[in-house]
Structure 1
Amino acid sequence: MPVAFADIGKAAKGFLGGDKPTGSFQFDPKLSVSSTTSSGVKIDISAVQKAEKVDATLKAAYSTKKYSVDVSVDPSNKVQATASVNEVAPGIKLTTSAVVLDPSTAKLTLDYSMPYLALKSTLGLTATPVVDVAASTGYQNVVLGGEASYDTAKSALTKYNFAVGYHAADFQIAALLADQLKTLKLSYYHNLTSTSSVGAEVTRKLADSSTAVALAYGRKLSNGALTKFKLEGSGVLSALYETKLATGEKVAGSLQLQATDLSKPVKYGFAVDLA
């Protein structure tokens, strides 16, 4: 099966932008609590302190092989509900979602996968919906795809992006032409060894020829802790240290500084995950 369009170059995006397997930079205090009830409902609560304000989110999810349902509450107190049904027909998954008490946000998503095609289509359930379509195909390690959005209210194509990638067992490279062909992104991720990885991303704005570069290096230490460093072309250097305590809690500390101007204040933060 080819990877979905959104997952082309996913390893590099997660490594540079932050994800659970490779660690995320967190420059504000954050507390996360995860638990599963006896009935199988998974509950995730997180709180992030920003200045004097604490933003809290809550998510409850329940899934079986056939169905899944989740409800989430964001910091603005919006309640979003999502329900999915797998294998409605061979290779087809249906998902519906909406913000509670706001019918204009209702959407229906169809995922279809077969040996040489992955298709995802989202339709807004309104009188003048926005239609999103993403498709990808591939052969062996090569994958390519595109996505587009059509706004029926404007009778206009409002988004179109294209991507091509090479996904091997230990490395990925990808090129994305985004923002209606105005931005080119090149990404690279490589597992050098079983304990060390590198990643890079180059973003080129074709209209004004501006370029942004980011490089990252991650390493798992002998005690199981994870370290990661990211250097951006602007001179911003970020560092992460993440470890799991003997009692099961995961703790992480991050700091960020302007390497080209050390007089600027250092940003730092930490995260605690009580699983």
Structure 2
Amino acid sequence: MPAVSFADIGKRAKGLLGGDAATGTFTLNPKLTIASTTLAGVSLTTTATQKGDKLDATVKAAYTCCKKYSGDVTADPSGKLAVNVSVAEVAPGLKLSAAMVLPDPAASAKLTAEYAHEKVSLKSTVSLSAAPVVDVAAATAVSGLLVGAEAGYDAKKADLTKYNFVLGYHASDFQATATVADQLSTLKLAYVQTLSPAATAGAELSRKLKGSEAGATTFALAYARNLAGGAVAKLKLESSGALSALYQTKLAGGEKVTGSLQLQATDLSKGPKYGFALDLA
């Protein structure tokens, strides 16, 4: 089994339970996305999300050259500009990236190095402030199992701010993971299974191992099905009683429409929440 990045261990379960392109993402706020590409090859994406009486909007311009150089700039209503640039294949398997937020680049600048190989995947991000924060993630494959770890160090606090470990197994029809997160205070078990070419089911169990909530256990169950015409339907039930449903389809022109509904199954007196997303690609 080839190695994958730390973030990609158990990726299908994360996508089913949390949202991805294949199974859709629950959206409980009105959302509009407009994407286009200029003749020069610049991709423009405008996203607007309404949260109550507030409208969050961003505009992103991205460009890739020669499949090696890429960059993007994202602007938000506050006037901040998030800038990212990257160079792939600096050396075999090595990608370097830099990011900053204007107008304060000194406080926000970061450098990231990613290395991908059949046997190992490494990623390191370093902030360029006077007291840098360093994040490191590594993953490898051992005897058919995927093993990963990540850690964060804050030079200002002179302390580890995070350390997480994950053990996973990827098969053609299922993925299973066990993660110890939140500085070894939370155990998460996740599993996703392909039931048929059109149906997928998954579950996640989370248990607090220490702290004031030690012993507390939560779970989530999800089911997704591909329907005729490229549509997708998904259901998710959480131990809190929240039941979420999603229906996503593509129109004749390629536009993607997603409708979401969430209600409290244990207390139907609480009004349901609705969401609608329109993606004009």
Q: What interval of TM-score do these two structures reach, taking the shorter chain for normalisation? A: over 0.9
Q: What's the CA shift for 1:76?
A: 4.0
Q: What's the CA shift for 1:224?
A: 2.1
Q: Which residue of 1 aligns with 2:159?
A: 156
Q: Is the 8 A contact 2:98 2:111 kept in 1?
A: yes
Gap change, CA 1:264 and 1:165, over 3 Å in 2: same
Q: What's the CA shift for 1:140?
A: 6.6
Q: Is the 8 A contact 1:120 1:134 kept in 2?
A: yes
Does residue 7 of the first structure (1) align with residue 8 of the second (2)?
A: yes
Gap change, CA 1:74 and 1:166, over 3 Å in 2: farther
Q: What's the CA shift for 1:73?
A: 2.0
Distance in 2, matches of 1:270 and 1:100, equals 32
Q: Which residue of 2 aligns with 1:99?
A: 101
Q: Is the 8 A contact 2:35 2:280 kept in 1?
A: yes
Letter in 2 for 1:50: K
Aligned length: 275
Gap change, CA 1:75 and 1:164, over 3 Å in 2: farther
* 2:84 maps to which of 64, 82, 93: 82
Unaligned runs of 5+ in 1: none
Measured on the aligned residues, the alpha-carbon RMSD in Å equals: 1.3
**SS at structure 1 position matched to 2:230:** coil
Letter in 2 for 1:6: A
**SS at structure 1 position matched to 2:129:** coil
Superposition map of 1:203-218 within 5 A: 203-207=206-210, 208-218=214-224
Superposition map of 1:178-193 within 5 A: 178-193=181-196
Q: Which residue of 2 aligns with 1:248?
A: 254
* 2:171 maps to which of 152, 168, 171: 168
**Residues 163-190 of structure 1, C-alpha deviation per residue, up to 9 Å, x if partnerless?**
0100112211111101110011111111
Distance in 1, matches of 2:202 and 2:143, equals 23
* 1:265 maps to which of 246, 249, 271: 271
Q: Is the 8 A contact 1:141 1:168 kept in 2?
A: no
Gap change, CA 1:206 and 1:75, over 3 Å in 2: farther
Gap change, CA 1:236 and 1:75, over 3 Å in 2: farther
Distance in 1, matches of 2:77 and 2:238, equals 30
Superposition map of 1:58-77 within 5 A: 58-64=59-65, 65-74=67-76, 76-77=78-79
**SS at structure 2 position matched to 1:14:** helix
Distance in 2, matches of 1:99 and 1:57, equals 14
Q: Is the 8 A contact 2:80 2:103 kept in 1?
A: no
Q: Is the 8 A contact 1:73 1:80 kept in 2?
A: yes
* 2:236 maps to which of 216, 230, 234: 230
Q: Is the 8 A contact 1:173 1:189 kept in 2?
A: yes
Give the alignment's TM-score, normalised by structure 2.
Answer: 0.95
Q: Is the 8 A contact 1:33 1:44 kept in 2?
A: yes
**SS at structure 2 position matched to 1:21:** coil
Q: What's the CA shift for 1:139?
A: 4.1
**SS at structure 2 position matched to 1:192:** strand
Runs of 4+ off more than 6 Å: none
Gap change, CA 1:261 and 1:54, over 3 Å in 2: same
Give the alignment's TM-score, normalised by structure 1.
Answer: 0.97
Distance in 1, matches of 2:280 and 2:126, equals 37
Distance in 2, matches of 1:219 and 1:262, equals 26
**SS at structure 1 position matched to 2:228:** coil
Q: What's the CA shift for 1:158?
A: 1.4
